Structure formats: C-alpha cells, structure tokens
Amino acid sequence: MSQLPLRVRAGTAVDDTVRDAFVLEHAAGTFFHLAGWRRSVERIMGHAGRDLLAYRGEELVGVLPLMACRGLSGRVRLISMPYAVYGGPLGQDAEVANALVGHARAQADKERVGQLELRCMDDPGLGWPKASLHATFIKDLPAEPDAVLAGMPKKARAEARKARERHGLVHRVGDEHLLAFARLFHANKHALGSPSLPVDFFRALLEECAGKISVHVIEHAGSAVAAVMAFHHGGDFLAYYSGSAPGADRELSASNFMYLALQEWAVEQGFKRFDFGRSRKDSGAFSFKVHQGFKPRDLHYSFHLVRDGALPSLNPSNPKLHLVQSTWRHLPQGVTRLLSRPLSRFLP
C-alpha cells in the first residue's frame, strides 16, 4: 500500500494536547518542544507562536515548535525555541523533519524575516550556517543516591562533602521558594552584566507546565544561598535556571553541594539522566561542569539568513559588548530589575 501524502499546517492551541503526546513519545523530544513553554513565552514575552505540524492522513507525524520574535533591531526572527537551549524539528522520519524545515524556510522567505534559527541538539544536516559557541552536558544517573557522591571527581567530591558536613548546607524543594530563587538568579545575571528574566515568567512556567518543574534552594543557617529551577521531561532532569549568593561558592562551596543534592534528589525521584544544560565554551560555567565530571556535547544551532547578513553576535563572547556589560554591573540591582523586564523581551 502506498504511503499517504505528507501535509504540513500551522498549529493552534487546540492542537496542544495531541502535539504534546507526540513530543513525549519522540526520542528527541525535549521540555522546550512542549506547548507549555510556548504558552509561557506568549503570555509574558508577547512573542507569537508559529508551531508547524505534519500529518499523514489524520495521523500527526511531526512537530516543529516555532515562534516569531522581535529583536532589539525591530526585525522579526523565527526561532525554535526562544529562551530555550533545545528546539528544532521532530519527525517520524527524515522526510517529515525535512518537510517541516522546508515549510519553515519558505515561511521565513515569504515574510522576509531577519533569519530562521533552529536550536538543534543534533546536527540536522541542512548545510546552513551554524553557530558553535555552546555545548550541553548530559550524563546517566546511577541507580542509587549514595552512588552520586562516589561518582564525582575527587576535588568536587571533597568540596561537596565539606559543604554538607562542615558548613551544614541543606537542600529544600518547593514552589514556595520561587521568590528566593528569582532573587538569586537576578543577582547572578547582574554580576554577569546581563539582563535577567521577570519573576512573572517563572510563575507562568509553573502554571503552564504544572507538575513538570521543581524549585530547589540550598540553605545555610536558614538563608537561601543557591537555587535552581529544574525541568522534568520523561526520564530527564534538567537543571536549567540557577543562581547563588555572592561569596557562597567561595565560602561555602554552595554550587558543588547543590548539584550533588540535585542529582541525589533526581535519582530518588526515578530520573535516569541529569541534564546540566547549556554553557558557552569559553565560560566559567563550562569549566565548572567539566570539573563536576560531565562531558561537553556540541550543540548545532542552524541559521537560514534572510534579511540578516550574519549570524547573531549579541552574546557575552562579543568584545563589543564588554562596555555595556560593565555599565550594567555598576547599576543598582533595583534599576536592572526594572530594566530587565522590557529588555528580556528582545533577547530571546
């Protein structure tokens, strides 16, 4: 029997349940492919969802989560997915994935956007220009919580043990820690010279992705000194947004303990893999993750340039931004918190 013809159409909110079921079943599906991420970005950042769905007959066989995002230049970009580290097409087979990408490319050309960006974990083999700034870090978790500490490199293991036994750090979990997490996240972004994200975005994620997110804090003497917002997808635990108090790592080894505690908790909850998230290859975060025993895996961000003449350069590696970053660090945190809300909309 001949195969039914392939049809690609725009997705709508009505499709969210069936598209999420497809994403959850797909081996390459991620938390960011789910509709809750798109809804959160729509609600708080105001970007427009442009999901593409592929069908053979009445069967959904492919999903490309996509959003139209206006940048600081005023030009629109199509991104899969904004504020996310993973995206790109999910197809039942290569023909489906290629059809989704071809449809997105034709849409980008027709609308004369700046560019189409696919934030793929694996190389999609498109032959498009690619950015090679980032790597991700994912490893299998052990079967028992006690094996996490034993599996850490010697120095990281000693620091984590010291934090627990000498400094008395404790790990707590719950949505009630959201504001403490948001405060520490903003403080870290301020120190890096970068706009933060509004707390309303984190609240929207908790609402739109209910049951798939956990908020973790590390406390010292009753005060939160480090925190993480983590995402759950199938057997994967993704430690995504994070922050720590000034001096907490130097004085308390807070981050060493936090990622030990997170892995132990993830094992207890039945997760199979720990995703440490994306880091820029020349950054301190990249080195920290390597020293925690994680191996980097290059990310393959692919770009179809339409009106833009070059790949995005608005990142901390660009020396032209050093003055801006320095100025931002010297502004009071209250000011940067106010400015971050409108600015974050244009930095997807």
- Cα separation, 38 vs 316, in Å, equals 26
**Mean per-residue pLDDT, 116-140:** 94
Confidence of residue 211 (pLDDT cuts 50, 70, 90): very high
Residue 15 lies in a domain: yes
Name all contacts of 198-203 with Cβ < 8 Å and 24+ positions apart: 198/44, 198/340, 198/341, 198/344, 200/44, 201/40, 201/44, 201/45, 201/83, 201/344, 202/178, 202/229, 202/241, 203/178
- Cα separation, 131 vs 311, in Å, equals 7
Confidence of residue 1 (pLDDT cuts 50, 70, 90): very low
Q: Looking at the structure, tell me whether residues 113 and 148 fall in a common domain.
A: no
Cross-strand pairs, 301: 119, 131
- The pLDDT of residue 319: 72
Q: How large a percentage of the chain has pLDDT more than 70?
A: 98
- Cα separation, 138 vs 277, in Å, equals 8
Could you tell me the pTM of the whole model?
Answer: 0.94
Residue 347 lies in a domain: no
Q: Residue 31, Cβ neighbours under 10 Å: how many?
A: 25
Q: Report the interhelical angle of 254-268 vs 154-165 (nearest 10°).
A: 90
Confidence of residue 41 (pLDDT cuts 50, 70, 90): very high
Residue 329 lies in a domain: no
- Cα separation, 163 vs 145, in Å, equals 17
Residue 102 lies in a domain: yes
Residue 327 lies in a domain: no
Is residue 45 pLDDT above 60, yes or no? yes
Q: What is the mean pLDDT of the chain?
A: 93
- The pLDDT of residue 103: 98
Q: Looking at the structure, tell me whether residues 153 and 241 fall in a common domain.
A: yes
Select the more confidently predicted residue: 142 or 320: 142
**Mean per-residue pLDDT, 200-220:** 97
Q: Looking at the structure, tell me whether residues 121 and 151 fall in a common domain.
A: no
39 contacts 208 by C-beta, under 8 angstroms: yes
Q: Looking at the structure, tell me whether residues 262 and 305 fall in a common domain.
A: no
- The pLDDT of residue 334: 87
**Mean per-residue pLDDT, 131-148:** 95
Confidence of residue 152 (pLDDT cuts 50, 70, 90): very high
Cross-strand pairs, 337: none
Of 77-91, 162-176, 305-319, 322-336, the poorest mean pLDDT is in: 305-319
- The pLDDT of residue 317: 64
**Residue partners of 157: CB distance under 8 A and separation at least 6:** 149, 150
pLDDT tens for residues 300-320?
Answer: 999 999 999 888 776 666 777
Q: Looking at the structure, tell me whether residues 235 and 307 fall in a common domain.
A: no
Q: Looking at the structure, tell me whether residues 192 and 76 fall in a common domain.
A: no
Residue 163 lies in a domain: yes
Q: Looking at the structure, tell me whether residues 242 and 187 fall in a common domain.
A: yes
Q: Looking at the structure, tell me whether residues 158 and 111 fall in a common domain.
A: no
> How many domains does one find in the chain?
2
The CATH number assigned to the domain holding 165 equals: 3.40.630.30
Structural domain of 113:
6-134+300-315
Residue 295 lies in a domain: no
Q: Looking at the structure, tell me whether residues 189 and 87 fall in a common domain.
A: no
pLDDT tens for residues 52-96?
Answer: 999 999 999 999 999 999 988 888 999 999 999 999 999 999 999
* DSSP H/E element including 148: helix 146-150
Is residue 37 pLDDT above 60, yes or no? yes
